[in-house]
Structures are given as C-alpha cells and as structure tokens.
Amino acid sequence: MDEPKHVSVLLDECIKNLNIRPDGVYVDGTLGLGGHSLEIARRLENGRLVCIDRDETAIERAGKRLEAFREKISFVHGNFSDTAEILRSLGIQGADGMLFDLGVSSPQLDETQRGFSYQHDAPLDMRMDVSSALTAFEVVNGWDENRLNRILWDYGEERYARRITAAIMARRAEKPIETTGELVEIIRGAMPSAALREKQHPAKRSFQAIRIAVNDELGEIERMMDTAPDLLNPGGRLCVISFHSLEDRIVKNGVARREKGCTCPREAPVCTCGFVQTLRNVTKKPILPSEEEIKGNPRARSAKLRVAERV
C-alpha cells in the first residue's frame, strides 16, 4: 500500500507541547491517518497510547500504519466525547496528555462516495461514523425550514442561508434531493450571480454546515471539553487543533471555564458552586502554523492549536 499523502497539521508543535514521557499515558482522540499517533508512539517505552476515532476505516488504516507499535496502543472505535468512559473501561485512571485534531480527515474527503465533498457527485451521506443513524440525506430532506436555515447560518456562516433553504424546500416538494451534485446545483441556483464569482466554492459553507449538523460536531467537542480533561493527571497536557471559529470558541471557552474555577459572586463569604480550577492555559494565544507549513499544506491555513495543562 502506498503511504497515504497526508500531512499532519502542527505536528511538531503538538509533540513538543504534549511533553511526552516514555512511560506516560497518552490519548489521540482523532486518530485519522495516525500521523500524530505515530510520533507519540515512537517516543514511548513503557508508556501507552489510546487511539480513538469514530470512523472505523481510520482505525483499520492507521492500525496498519502503527503496526510496529501495536503492543503499546489500544485502538478504540468510538467518540472522543466518551474519552473519560473509554479510559475507565480500559482500566486507565489518568492520562498525561490528550490530543484532539478536529474536523474531517483527508481520506474522508477523498473517498468521494462518502459525500463529504462538493466537488464530486455522491449520495448525501457525510457520516464520519457510518454506523450512526443521521445522514446528510435526512438533514437536507427531513429537517424543517427553520432548522435548516439555522444550521446554514450558524454553522456555515452562510449569508444566503434563507435563499438556499427556500430553494431546498422548493425542490424537496417535488422530489427528494439524493446527491451532493444535486445539492450543489440547488445552492448555485439560489445564490446571486455576484456571490458565484467569489473565490470560495459556492457550496463550501453549506457543506460545512450540513457536515457539522450530521456529525453533531460542536456538541461532541463541548461534551469532550466538559469531561475528558478530568482524566488528565496533574501536569498533563490538553492539545486541541481547531479549523474554524465555531470549534475554536468552544475550546477556548471550555478552557476558560476550567481555568476560572469558582463562579460564586465575589462578595460570597464561602464557595457554594463547588467548581475548582482544573486547567490553565499554557499559551495565552493559540499556536498557528508557520508560513512554511501553510505553503506545503493549504489545509493548515485555518488551524489553531490551544494547549492547556491540568493543575
């Protein structure tokens, strides 16, 4: 098998910030092609690495790539929002580092039949986990007008959300929308011609929105931020790479909430909220890829790495 053409984003920065100890326990919550995991595994002696992905094909593919480190690794087909339970079920009490590299992987985009890409005609699917129930077909053909409009606006920041939703509703009234190609054509038809001349593909924002909805991506990140850091050992690091502002905001707020600790009013004589500080930001500003990395890998352009440490 050819080595997949794929470059892991902010790889050196992640490895450096995870502070890997040869006997530590690490979690890669978004295994993908295993580029980050490979570099973690290489640095382990008696340590352990837990690799999670909700896409079963990622587990299979990266499993082969990481074959040489097999005895140090536990592969789990699951959701990173369940990281805490997954670790507990493996009998792991605490981790020394966790990495989450959000979004879709290049194979998900390249396997055109999965319907993630607006550049190829395929059934409307977009599920990262093909065993989950909700597909893009259901979102596009089943969700009501308000809900559709809201996701295009909120998750896609699509200024023509109303027009696009109206066009989808009109087509649906005639017959179901079956493929990504049909959807692209409907989106194009709904947009003013000036918008069609923009550099960005006219369907890019809508496809992002539908993908986020199908996979409940923001909800999963929120649940992860609420629970996974509790399983970090003191001094353990949390590294999260996000690719758009909606993801980054959840990560940033999640860390801020944990950094703040007690939320009782300043004048309260004793703490009644019970919140204690669990994280501190390692860098105030997120870490961005170098110009050089962006040149070699355009996908890195919008990446932001946030690093926090368990106190």
Binding site for ligand SAM (CB under 6 A): 6, 8, 29-30, 32-36, 52-55, 58, 79-81, 101, 103, 105, 128, 220
Is residue 218 within 8 Å of 212, Cβ to Cβ?
yes
271 binds, among Zn ion, ligand SAM, none (CB under 5 to 8 A by kind): Zn ion
- Report how far residue 85's alpha carbon sits from residue 160's, in angstroms, rounded to the nearest whole number: 41
Q: How far is the CB of 19 from Zn ion (least distance, A)?
A: 30
Position 257 contacts Zn ion (CB under 5 A): no
Q: How far is the CB of 213 from Zn ion (least distance, A)?
A: 35
Indicate the residue type of 20.
I
Closer CB to Zn ion, 196 or 271, in the complex: 271
Q: How far is the CB of 101 from ligand SAM (least distance, A)?
A: 4
- Answer for which of 90, 169, 256, 271 binds Zn ion (CB under 5 A) is 271
By CB under 5 A, the count of residues binding Zn ion is 4
* Tokens standing for residue 272: 């009644």
17 binds, among Zn ion, ligand SAM, none (CB under 5 to 8 A by kind): none
- Report how far residue 69's alpha carbon sits from residue 67's, in angstroms, rounded to the nearest whole number: 5
Q: Are strands 95-101 and 48-53 parallel, antiparallel or unpaired?
A: unpaired
33 binds, among Zn ion, ligand SAM, none (CB under 5 to 8 A by kind): ligand SAM
Q: How far is CA 114 from the centre of its chain?
A: 17
Closer CB to ligand SAM, 8 or 17, in the complex: 8
Q: Is 25 helix (H, G, I), strand (E, B) or coil?
A: strand
Handedness of CA 225, 230, 233, 235 (dihedral sign): positive
Q: Which residues pair with 239 in a beta bridge?
A: 99, 307
Contacts of 79 (CB under 8 A, 6+ apart): 52, 54, 129, 220
Q: How far is the CB of 171 from ligand SAM (least distance, A)?
A: 30
Position 273 contacts Zn ion (CB under 5 A): yes
171 binds, among Zn ion, ligand SAM, none (CB under 5 to 8 A by kind): none
Contacts of 109 (CB under 8 A, 6+ apart): 116, 117
Closer CB to Zn ion, 89 or 263, in the complex: 263
Position 294 contacts Zn ion (CB under 5 A): no
- Answer for which of 92, 195, 262, 311 binds Zn ion (CB under 5 A) is 262
Burial (CB count <10 Å: 0-12, 13-18, 19+), residue 179: middle
Q: How far is the CB of 28 from Zn ion (least distance, A)?
A: 34
**Per-residue DSSP letter, 227:** H
262 binds, among Zn ion, ligand SAM, none (CB under 5 to 8 A by kind): Zn ion
Give the range of 96-104, 123-131, 180-188, 270-278 binding Zn ion by CB under 5 A.
270-278
Is residue 230 within 8 Å of 85, Cβ to Cβ?
no
Give the residue closest to ligand SAM by C-beta.
Answer: 32
Closer CB to Zn ion, 63 or 261, in the complex: 261
Neighbour count for residue 237 (Cβ, 10 Å): 24
**Per-residue DSSP letter, 4:** P
Q: How far is the CB of 273 from Zn ion (least distance, A)?
A: 3
Q: Summarize as ranges the residues that interact with Zn ion (CB under 5 A).
A: 262, 264, 271, 273
